[in-house]
Structure 1
């Protein structure tokens, strides 16, 4: 994963994360965005606030991806709805219907 402090790269990441934030909120998740570089919104399950995760957007080999905090790919940024579903799945307790 390649992350730089390039202003254009940071702005592209913000654009992708803004789109993902909209999808996450549609899936009933809360999103807190801290102003840091690179931006990493904290996604929280409001039903189980202990379940939260930071995500970020960054390019790898010419393709932009959403990433977990442990640097595993979630989904390409073109698939923001799929990324939101995956994040919701991870932030849902195992005992509840996913």
Structure 2
């Protein structure tokens, strides 16, 4: 049951990021390739398709964080302004 709750929390955060990213002009899709792997959010800049990124979400010391594919933290999962600023910068989204 604990894993199900954690997965649902990850999905909720990733879907929120996807919604904000799509509002910023990115394409996004939440995927889970196997039951044993956690879901990730795949974002693509449609104006420069080579700019894409997989974002994960996980809990560290009771706080949910968003992470880049190279494992560096992006922002707390509830800090959508901070997360979107970083995502826009990395994926080359113009203001």
Q: TM-score, normalised by structure 1?
A: 0.84
Q: Distance in 2 between matches of 1:58 and 1:84?
A: 17
- Residues 19-98 of structure 1 mapped to structure 2, 5 A cutoff: 19-36=16-33, 37-92=37-92
- How far residue 35 of structure 1 moved from its aligned partner, in angstroms, is 2.9
Q: Which runs of 4+ in 1 moved over 3 A?
A: none
- How far residue 33 of structure 1 moved from its aligned partner, in angstroms, is 2.2
Is the Cα contact below 8 Å between 1:65 and 1:75 reproduced in 2? Answer: yes
Q: Report 1 or 2 for greater relative contact order, CA contacts < 8 Å, sequence distance ≥ 6.
A: 1
Is the Cα contact below 8 Å between 2:39 and 2:56 reproduced in 1? Answer: yes
Gaps of 5+ in 2: none
3-state SS of 1:33 partner = strand
Gaps of 5+ in 1: none
Q: Aligned-pair RMSD on alpha carbons?
A: 1.8
Is the Cα contact below 8 Å between 2:14 and 2:30 reproduced in 1? Answer: no
Q: TM-score, normalised by structure 2?
A: 0.86
Is the Cα contact below 8 Å between 2:13 and 2:77 reproduced in 1? Answer: yes
Give the number of equivalent residue pairs.
Answer: 91
